[in-house]
Amino acid sequence: MWPERRNIPAPQVITPAQAAMMPAEAAAKTGIPDFSGLVETYGPAVVNISAKHVDIMNHNSINGGMNGGNPQLPIDPSDPFYQFFKHFYGNGVPGMGGNDSQNAADTPSESLGSGFIVRSSDGYILTNAHVVDGANVVTVKTTDKREYRAKVIGSDKQSDVAVLKIDAKNLPTVKIGDPNGSKVGQWVVAIGSPYGFDNTVTSGIISAKSRSLPNENYTPFIQTDVPVNPGNSGGPLFNLQGEVIGINSMIYSQTGGFQGLSFAIPLNEAMKVKDALVKTGHVDRGRLGVTVQGMDQTLAKSFGLQSPNGALVSSVEAGSPAAKAGFQPGDVILSVDGQPVADSNALPSQVAALAPGTTANVQVWRDKATKDLAVTVGTLSDTKTASTGQGADKGDSASQDARLGVTVRPLTPEEKQSASLSRGLLVRQSGGAAESAGIQAGDVILAVNGQPVTTVQQLKTMVAHAGDSIALLIQRDDAQIFVPVDLG
């Protein structure tokens, strides 16, 4: 009797791209993603980066900074690596004192980070600018333990993106994704070298998008709760399709370790920087020449706006593109080339993305109506931000406005010349509504609700006829800022 025939399915061939997609399929079926296919496919394209600044006159440093076969480790107690190695080795570690007699001044400074290969044919690698900042010896190590001396093609501190190149061919590469297609709440995966532990995989979700951070004005960060730590910097952030959508750049922490807040540079922004660095070695960014501040409901009401959207112009730099285009303090920038400006944090990245020399259409809110201004975009070289601080109290005769709660006097000619002002009232004392709003002695009141003020009587008249709130343009130290005052 013949054996029973059975239909035996042919073996299924799974491509690397299909393997990387498996986490998304697993998540859809079980609710718990499996990242193994993604890691196996694209993990080899993630590299460990060691960046050193060595004394080129010291032969031992040139040869790796080794002493007795042991690596030179950080000696700064504030360095997270110091505490890490001290936990395991105590004080007898080279570079930390103890039995090591080498002069600390001879120890090369070193930072560890991560990166990922984006082009196989010529060995281009993306990482963070702060990983290689100040280094003259950069070493890249792949997952198969090969090491290469890397060349820094370019580094852009404002975006915190750097491009490296190694002399190698047929390298594994990552798959480039579009962060604009990602959503808050979606799973993401980070691969990097926290504390030097190569190819460590961590996961989490996207917590927010287009996040602006203090002193980081030109990058709309992707916020995640993916655990990243020192050494993860420069590593890729993957979506569940195995595509890189960001470069892990920084954390917010009280201790130096991960506390649930990590931030990644969107890859589309990083790729623009990469292309510019490879092509020209630098990045050109647009500039208007205005200082802006955030809006709140009180300010919005003072300027006749329904909602506190946009960026409030507190000062316009003389001779700047904005000045030539007719921008004024008190303008609220609503959109740039048709793209809405959500707030003052969003504006810098939108303007920086403009090509210098081109003409941009900027819509502003002025005198309770919209106005379109055509501005020839300049080139960014420096930035100014509005700040607060203590001012000096000078002069004699003053007059008080009871409703506002300030005692003011006109500026003397010498004060106008010293502060480069043509007008203004110096605040001698502050109380009541003004004090509650943060107005201080030494501030100079320049305008009320966008209208210039030159005399004490003019200020009294404006305040008397104002509604429940006003916006005062003040100068404090070298910066101008609008202050909303609730008059009740």
pLDDT in tens, 209-250: 988 776 666 788 999 999 999 899 999 999 999 999 999 998
Active-site annotation, residues: 130, 160, 233
Q: Return d(Cα 196, Cα 66) in angstroms, integer.
A: 17
Predicted pLDDT at 15: 66
% of the chain with per-residue pLDDT over 70: 77
Predicted pLDDT at 488: 67
CA atoms within 13 A on the CB side of 178: 2
- pLDDT > 90? residue 19: no
How does 26-47 read in b/e, with b if 16+ C-beta sit within 10 Å? Answer: bbeeeeebbbebbbebbbbbbb
**286-379 CATH pick, 3.20.20.30, 2.30.42.10, 3.40.50.300, 2.30.110.10:** 2.30.42.10
CA atoms within 13 A on the CB side of 367: 5
Predicted pLDDT at 403: 79
Domain 20-40+181-267 homologous superfamily, CATH: Trypsin-like serine proteases (2.40.10.10)
- The dihedral formed by the CA atoms of 347, 348, 354 and 358, expressed in degrees to the nearest 10: 90
Q: Which token pair is 360?
A: 């941009």
Predicted pLDDT at 148: 95
For 26-88, the DSSP string reads HHHHHSS---HHHHHHHGGGEEEEEEEE--TT-HHHHTTSEETTEE-----TTSHHHHHHHHH
Residue that wins the pLDDT comparison between 43 and 102: 43
Question: What is the value of pTM for the model shown?
Answer: 0.64
Of 159, 101, 79, which Cα lies nearest the Cα of 127? 159
* Distance (Å) of CA 302 to CA 89, 194, 296, 400, 450: 62, 49, 10, 22, 9
Domain 399-486 homologous superfamily, CATH: PDZ domain (2.30.42.10)
Residue that wins the pLDDT comparison between 26 and 31: 31
Residue that wins the pLDDT comparison between 62 and 86: 86
* pLDDT tens for each residue of 285-320: 899 999 888 888 988 998 999 999 999 998 898 889
Domain 43-165 homologous superfamily, CATH: Trypsin-like serine proteases (2.40.10.10)
Q: Tell me where in the chain the CATH 2.40.10.10 domain(s) lie.
A: 20-40+181-267, 43-165
Predicted pLDDT at 29: 65
DSSP alpha helix (H) spans, 235-325:
267-280, 297-302, 321-325
* pLDDT tens for each residue of 148-173: 999 999 999 889 999 999 999 889 99
Q: Tell me where in the chain the CATH 2.30.42.10 domain(s) lie.
A: 286-379, 399-486
* pLDDT tens for each residue of 390-445: 333 333 345 666 678 888 888 888 788 878 888 889 888 888 788 888 888 888 99
How does 358-386 read in b/e, with b if 16+ C-beta sit within 10 Å? Answer: eebebbbbbeeeeeebebebbebeeeeeb
Q: Return d(Cα 291, Cα 333) in angstroms, integer.
A: 11
Neighbours of 470 (CB within 10 A): 24
Q: Do residues 250 and 378 lie in contact, with contact meaning Cβ atoms separated by under 8 Å?
A: no
* pLDDT tens for each residue of 245-267: 999 998 877 777 778 899 999 99
Q: Return d(Cα 367, Cα 266) in angstroms, integer.
A: 37
